[in-house]
Structure 1
Amino acid sequence: MSHKVEILSVGTELLLGSIANTDAQMLSQGLSALGLNVYWHTVVGDNPQRAREAVAIAKQRADIIITTGGLGPTCDDLTKNVLAEAFGKKLYRDEDSVRRLEEFAKKRGRKLTENNYQQAMLPEGCTVLVNDWGSAPGCAFEAEGVHVIMLPGPPSECRPMFQYRAVPYLQQFSEGVIASHTLKLFGIGESAMEAQLREQMNAMANPTLAPYAKEGECELRVTAKAATQEEAQALLLPTVDKLKEHFGPLVYGVDVPSLEFVLEGLLKERGRTLGTAESCTGGLMAKRLTDLSGASQVFKGGIVSYTNEVKHNVLGVPQELLDQYGAVSAPVAEAMAEGARRVLGCDIGLSSTGVAGPDKDDRGNEVGTMFIGIATYEGTYVRPLHITLRPVRERLRTITAHHAFDLARRYLTGLDYEAGMPQ
């Protein structure tokens, strides 16, 4: 039997955008690994009538409903009440849950108030999902041909509750496995990528291929469904290999989180160090690298040379270059990269200089005019950029940093700096 899953997230804070709905993302990923198809994501606020309407719709179209949130002690925690009402179940006081609540409070030196005990009120006939990571227990029951699983909302509780409590319950419905690999590409737009693959995507059934646009880069996700993980991989890997061959140097990794993650790994493998000299990116390259654990092994440091005085006095950019060409120029980007390598004592120097907007610079350079430099033992290279799509400062900085990391990746892997890039 093919199951249809709906994830129902309860919480006004989700609707307001005060917090991101990371629970739903995590659940979808976990359910896919079980071979269960998620058909709908629904978010509803802390309103009893709207929650009833959402549950009424869900029980008509899904045979597995997983809820997150609304299990706490306050008046707006209404998930159990609404679901019990929708399926004609009474709530009872679960004494084991009461005992665990009291132990939980005692360990933390807290005194339970009467409303705290509401968390121990559960639908009759349910399987209690013990919460060892918080106070509110979850539960699961079957009624009217629908399986309902209720999980707490805080991600620090929802994730382990799903993994260690819900997954064992859900394994009875598993229909094999759904596996996927994601290729990360830089240097091609989503529309151009999709145009090259349209015929292939339309012809594919299992595995399937889906393109995604990310900020300044693209993803290709290959997904297969099979009885076992081994069979799914046998379907996936030939397609992954063909795509890597087709796109060549534009593919910077498979199942990797980011371009800087790949760069850090290459630096460690090659025993090289890197430093940055940033103007238009304002320290973004350094930030992204230092966000990675262990980056201190390969990243020497960064200089934010936002003014010409710092470019000249700290990085040693010749004043005549600044006067003749201006800060936003290939010669200055080259000198900045060389200065970073010299001042920071690193193997590779990366630089960025450009116009992030919102206005042209004093020499008439348009917003999106950028120059990225890389200095190595073998010499220096500059990639000029003219980024015209949606010229917003943050986006321009992100794309410019991508380009700098791409140059370093290509250098470390022996690739041509511009192979496959649009001319």
Structure 2
Amino acid sequence: MTRIFATYDIETPVGLAHAADVLAGEQSTGTFVKLASETDELRARSAARVENIRTTSSSNAPSLPSRKTGNTYERGLVTVSWPLNTVGTSLPTLMSTIAGNLFELAEISAIRLTAVQLPKEFGRDNPGPQFGAEGTRAFMGGHTGPLIGTIIKPSVGLRPSETAELVKALVDAGIDFIKDDELQANGPDCPFGERLSAVMRVINDHAEKSGKRVIYAANITDEIDQMWRNLDLMQSVGAFCAMVCLQSVGLSGVRAVRNHSEALIHGHRAGWGLLSRSPDIGVSFDVMQKLWRLAGADHLHVNGLGNKFTESDEVVAESARSVRRPTTSDHSLNDAAMPVFSSGQTIWQIAPSRKVVGNDDFIFCAGGGIMSHPGGPGQGVTALRAAAEAARDGVSLDEMTRQSPALQIATQFFKRPSSP
């Protein structure tokens, strides 16, 4: 029988074996009392099953508030499986199963979903990325190297005409990729339609004059019917990248965009810290990125090396690698997404980012790393491009500064982060 597997880091005052049984029952055929209809045959066919338990530690106090208490709180990794026939391949149903009521169980004083293994049927029944890295380059006319990108700043406050003025400065500077901030969607002061039309006039004019198609990731995040209208408007003005705040619209929202869309889907993980920041509760990025990709995301934010947030470089590197691995047991399926590095990025992080990915199939978003270059945004882009070329050719930044005055200035102006 084909099964779905999920692994949890669990802490409990009632013993790992008992807590695992409670979890499996709650998330499949059982409840708080024995049911006459829960027969042995039904359980054999439909129940979740505890596959493995490995104790890792114990403590004298709970990591999270817990109604049930004990003298010792045992901690370990528990793997549970479900038959595919009871869950199906619906991503929302999968989430309700592997990340549902189990987070509230009184027998568990800490729980984090760390991994999921999905059978090939999920790849068959869900659309997955429509374009990925190869398709992204095709939209741009065959661009080579990493995509040097930036974010429209200030995040909010600019009117449509002011946004377009900033975009013109950026495309004239040689940028590859521009995205709306996650906070800028369809507010009264900067309506989506007006902003999109103003920006695309600039981008289309630049493409006609230069032959270069710059990607503008327009933030379409909204109710589903409005996102569909936004996609239709994008198509009418030649825009081909829709930015979606993944957690805000949910898996069904991402799937709805994918089903309606002929555009790249740029997945922003705004709010990610809610699921990831605590070691005692939440969901790992490795789990969520699989589901977001299955729903249709082509690009996925993974934070950045030496970032301004809380994640370590090791976590960021693993996230970047994870979006390129298979989502299911079908390893022949080409469903890799393009990792997006952002958050406090400058010329210092581009070589380590390339080393993590192993090639140039990534987007490198620098806000201040471009805008605050002493020579202006154009020199900021030039410096990043030179740093990317140095990384590709295995040349040190010091050596490349002899060929690029913009890079030399950047190495003197931007403080080298302590971590990459």
Q: Does TM-score exceed 0.5, indicating one fold?
A: no
Shorter chain as denominator, the TM-score bin is: under 0.3
Query: Which structure has more RCO (C-alpha within 8 Å, separation ≥ 6)?
Result: 2
Q: TM-score, normalised by structure 2?
A: 0.25
Q: Which has the higher strand share?
A: 1
Scaled by the length of structure 1, the TM-score of the pair is 0.25
Q: Rg larger in 1 or in 2?
A: 1
